[in-house]
Structure 1
């Protein structure tokens, strides 16, 4: 019989946490770039992000369907993963003239910086592997 203890919560590896210099523009007093702290999220947290980015839309013939905004989903996932800086801080949002953590991210980062952050967030959550890599892992 297989030993299930490897799957018990206390034996599972913890969250992945990493630091990333998202932008050279954010510097400490000594002129060094300040790294952001990122964490992985659970499948349940990911589901919450996806649901929050999903809307019911009226389609042809009056039928309602659901539609997920990829951009909104990725922004929500990024916010869930960013530990530092605190994107939900009211003073930080006020300094950029926005309300909401997703809006803050879009306002404070340049386009390329935002894309790099999104890519890193996807990577630490396991979305960095293509299907061929996953098939090779399963074979081994």
Structure 2
């Protein structure tokens, strides 16, 4: 049995997550007519919490004086995509001008078809560990 050692859990010993390459659309091609890969970075739990908090909305409960807080899922999806996509630079003014919009949120929606947008969101979630099933984690832990 392996001796318990907290050294592996120290920040300087943690393996840094590498950016993930992903083809968000086959419509954006290079000079060789090959699709261009987008680059997705992971974020920390603190950054995710900040994003989630910025996407919450308060609503009044009809017939009462109470409010409920809900997460605007669409706003969160867009915010997470914009935070995690590092290439192309969705904040680039030239890119936004070419689509006639202002803001990363607007340009990514203009650039991609609805299916491509949904697939990109799933890739961003997977890059951040949201799509890894517990069965897979348990198998990995047992082996």
TM-score by length of 2: 0.88
Aligned equivalents of 1:90, 1:58: Cα separation in 2: 38
Partner of 1:111: 114
Aligned equivalents of 2:18, 2:125: Cα separation in 1: 12
Q: Where do 5+ consecutive residues of structure 1 fail to align?
A: none
Q: Where do 5+ consecutive residues of structure 2 fail to align?
A: none
2:132 pairs with 1:129: yes
Q: Which stretches of structure 1, 4 residues or longer, exceed 2 Å deviation after superposition?
A: 129-140
> How many correspondences in the alignment?
140
1:27-66 aligned at under 5 Å gives the runs: 27-60=29-62, 61-66=64-69
Of 19, 22, 25, the residue aligned with 1:20 is 22
Question: Does the aligned pair in 2 maintain the 1:15–1:41 contact within 8 Å?
Answer: no
Secondary structure, counterpart of 1:129 in structure 2: coil
CA RMSD across the alignment: 1.8
Partner of 1:99: 102
TM-score by length of 1: 0.89
Structure 1 residue 31 displacement after superposition:
1.7
Secondary structure, counterpart of 2:81 in structure 1: helix
